Structure 1
């Protein structure tokens, strides 16, 4: 998903992350142009100015409320993760994972950016994963955050879908901005995929971990609830009783079932 708010969030978290000399150097060696390194900040500023014009031109309090509610739920999830991280990690690493220094002009863009940073750190940084618990728990935490982030992004798309688009000229400029940002993101993704395994942890700072790299995340938030209920005891492969907690019985013994309740989504 690369909606307008998603792209602004990526620009915001990348703008902050690329200040890390090791990350900037690694991406440069991987072919990410210097102009792209410096371009995130400028594009973010331009994109937020267009967003401000749009909000002034299209007043929609109901959609704004839905965005704020979804954003608050994502922030509550992040605070839960922070509570777990603070138990065993130093304050500086926790602040980095939480993206406390990421501040866009628009609050929702900031929430999206910080959510992207935390999810990427969970996927790419082994120190974060170890602090959160066993692999199933870490995956469930990531899936819940992924679901909440995408719910927020869905509400932002509704917010940017006016009843009378012809009455809002700034939409044309936002469309151009979106195309430019997607080109920038494509270049970033291509460079990120070339980073060697020892530098995988740096991708957490970008707020973007390419598919096939790092811990996978996906599925639905509801599946997390099922896992949490089902993990009171390990599943028995020979037990045919219905279960709502693990994949066996609910998902069936299909190509996605990896055994012992593990199911990796193929979408």
Structure 2
């Protein structure tokens, strides 16, 4: 008789453990969130699920959605809970979320909010490129979605197929008494958008080559081969104009340009 009692106790303990099984899956500890997102997870057996953000009031969360992946842990599948939340209502920085199951605190963790300063933004449009994601063979385009107040994946394509800014061309310094030309070419290096620039100083018959990673319409380019350590920032401000800012030039005694100086280059190839 004792073995049967022992087995009965084991079964009762196992059932009790199943009742307490569950997880708050989103947001995870330390996550960065923005826009209108979801708070979700699962619990094997609950009458009421609630969440609390910081020190605000508890918010009831719908419970009982089907989660086939919980069948092994719970013995059934109606264990999911999920609710939408506008994280734009929160200030930028760290916040706390607590999960209550049948009035008992089950989870207490922090996460981070990054938003654009208003709970709901209207009329915005924009997209951004994420090269080399989710792997080196692909690039994705992210497009702003007003309904979710966030960027969503709008395009996935083979790496290197997205258009680059039209940097390609020959440029001359505007209103300069000297004769300096830049020839620029936008392409790819190791799967990254890359800008190569050749500077030709016709007054001194000097040639220098620079290159650097393209980020949007800007690139920080560095001297590749000469003894000078020169760094510029190039920005395509108009289809026919490039603004060049001197970041540094070493050795200073041999440079005829200074950090902080800005030069305007105008297109010479008729585009």
TM-score, with length taken from structure 2? 0.21
Task: Indicate the structure whose relative CO is greater, using CA pairs within 8 Å and at least 6 residues apart.
Answer: 1
Higher strand share: 2
TM-score, with length taken from structure 1? 0.21
Higher helix share: 1
